[in-house]
Amino acid sequence: MSPLSLEQVAQHKSPESCWIIIRNKVYDVTEFLQEHPGGAEVILKYAGRDATWVYEPIHPPDALEKNLPPSKHLGPLGLDSARLLDEERQNAKKTKDEIRVEEARRRLPPLSRILSLSDMENVATQILSHRAYAYYASAADDEISSMENARAFTRFFFQARVMRPVATCDPSTTILGFKSAIPIFVSGAALAKLGHPNGEINITKGAFNEGIIQMVSSNASLSPTAIMQASDQTQPLFFQLYKHRDDDIAERRVREIETLGYKAIFLTVDAIVAGNRERDIRSPWVLDEQDNGPVYYQPESVGTKTIEVNIFGTAGALIANDDRDMTWEKTIPWLRRISRLPIVIKGIQCVQDAILAAEAGVDGILISNHGGRQLDYSLPPMETLYALRRQRPEVFDQLEVYIDGGVRRGTDVVKAVCLGARAVGLGRPFLYAQSAYGEAGVSKLVQILRREIVTAMQLVGASSVNDLLPEMIQRVDWQTPYAKL
């Protein structure tokens, strides 16, 4: 393949012939336009041009190579063109947001001054690009479930026990049989490269350092292979599966995952359609206004029957091809048939479905409303856990129960474990930590939680997770207004 020039590429900027440049390589994506989960429009915006900077942070590096037949790999950009592109990039005027981020990153506080997950989040809100923060923080509609997930924990108080020997206190547990230093795990945090160039691998390494388990998202900005390669040989990794609507494609994915060495499948059932994440949708408009000022209404021609508006958030499209017709009867047996891995259903939101999951014989359930990013006013997982404990305690003997959503303190973890959760997942906090400090931030995060968990365990009178019992928890009938959530 002979090198191509910018001028050549520039001629292919229409739906009829659409070329784009990624990392100085040229691809013909004309036929792929209709298949792109994010829609053709997004690609066409960069037709005939370099698209590296928008492609990189949200795709595994090999995504395009894997999805395009070799014949569409048109070859490298010529040296002169590459140099020209490079100059362009360097001379490009920085956006106000880029300038803000650069400045904020220079003022990053020392890691030793990060005392809590809330400190970590505060730092992240400073140093993240508007786009990244909007994607990470955004949630469905009015973000009620997202915020109530955290607030739910503030209704649970401890009936702490005293005069118990707790000088030695072991916070470790197992998850699906795999050792975990403390009862937490990384819950499906995707698009980590939006916040840090190393992306999800920061989390993988930090998790190994601290002895906890990472559940890797289908939507990670790095491929499952890349993440597995970056992991330690002895380190268990779980996989968060978004099942493709085509069973064959889905089966290939599952087999690939098992072959790669992932140790469990967390089947995601709470994100079969895109949640309405307005903060994320608004993000490009905000950035545009910052640099170019506001835009105003031009009256549409009256009489138009429908005024369709295309709405794409950063990740709305990630699940465009997911299976929206999964059922207990069909999907679980199919998955059991094609894989020997333990199966956990991620996204249980009420007691009744927890019972169905137990009847379906899965190995675990992750009570989750996807961090409030899908259905607003879905019940907070901590409340669902509490309801399950009160209404159907036997379920805790039939499978492992986890929750995620809103966990910000060691006491949150201890409360959930008291009520029967085997472990508790965290998502956004890991994204914030790795965005600000990379791998070191991830380690710090776990260390903070470890210290908080051990302190809380000792002060409630528990020397191991087995000592944490439902009677140590009282759900109160008031609501603290003091919590910083």
Residue 95 vs 447, nearer CB to a second copy: 447
Q: Which residues pair with 180 in a beta bridge?
A: 173
User: By rule CB under 8 A, what count of residues binds a second copy?
Assistant: 112
Which member of 69, 70, 165, 293 binds a second copy (CB under 8 A)?
A: 165
12 is annotated as an active-site residue? no
CA 23 to chain centre: 25
Q: Of these, 93, 106, 337, 340, which contacts a second copy (CB under 8 A)? A: 106
Task: Out of 59, 130, 244, 370, pick the active-site residue.
Answer: 370
Q: Which residues fall within 8 angstroms of residue 178, CB to CB, at 6 or more apart?
A: 213, 236, 263
Nearer to a second copy, 105 or 255 (CB): 105
Would you call 64 exposed, middle or buried from its count of C-beta atoms within 10 A (0-12, 13-18, 19+)? buried
Of the candidates 270, 280, 353, 412, the residue annotated as catalytic is: 270
- Interacting residue with a second copy among 160, 229, 249, 252 (CB under 8 A): 160
Q: Does 293 bind a second copy (CB under 8 A)?
A: no
**Could you tell me the CA-to-CA distances from 43 to 66, 88, 207, 465 in Å, in that order?**
17, 20, 35, 50
Contacts with a second copy in 200-229 (CB under 8 A)? 209-210
Contact stretch for a second copy (CB under 8 A) within 68-76, 111-119, 234-242, 427-435: 111-119
244 is catalytic: no
Q: Is 65 exposed, middle or buried (0-12, 13-18, 19+ CB in 10 A)?
A: middle
> Which lies closer to a second copy via its Cβ, residue 143 or residue 200?
143
59 flagged as catalytic: no
Q: 459, 464, 469, 470: which one contacts a second copy (CB under 8 A)?
A: 459
Q: Are 429 and 445 in contact (CB under 8 A)?
A: yes
Annotated active-site residue in 242, 402, 432, 437: 242
Q: Is 435 near a second copy (CB under 8 A)?
A: no
Burial grade of 248 (CB within 10 A; 0-12, 13-18, 19 or more): exposed
Q: What CA–CA distance (Å, rounded) separates 218 from 215?
A: 10
Q: How far is the CB of 305 from a second copy (least distance, A)?
A: 6
Does 97 help bind a second copy (rule: CB under 8 A)?
A: no
Q: Are 449 and 433 in contact (CB under 8 A)?
A: no
331 part of the interface to a second copy, by CB under 8 A: yes
Query: Minimal CA–CA distance to 423: which of 357, 361, 468, 383?
Result: 468
Contact pattern from residue 370 through residue 409 relative to a second copy, giving x for each residue in contact according to CB under 8 A and a dash for the rest? ----xxxxxx---x-------------------------x
Distance between CA atoms of residues 216 and 151, nearest Å = 26
Interface pick for a second copy out of 28, 121, 270, 400 (rule CB under 8 A): 270
Residues 354-373 that bind a second copy (CB under 8 A): 356, 369
51 or 362, CB closer to a second copy?
362
- Choice from 10, 92, 115, 249 touching a second copy (CB under 8 A): 115
Distance of CA 79 to the CA centre of its chain: 38
Residue 260 has phi, psi (to 5 degrees) of -65, -20
Which segment (153-161, 185-193, 214-222, 230-238) binds a second copy by CB under 8 A? 153-161
Residues 233-262 that bind a second copy (CB under 8 A): 245
Burial class (CB in 10 A: 0-12, 13-18, 19+), 456: buried
Angle between helical axes of 96-106 and 278-292 (0-180°, round to 10): 100
- Report the catalytic residues: 242, 270, 370
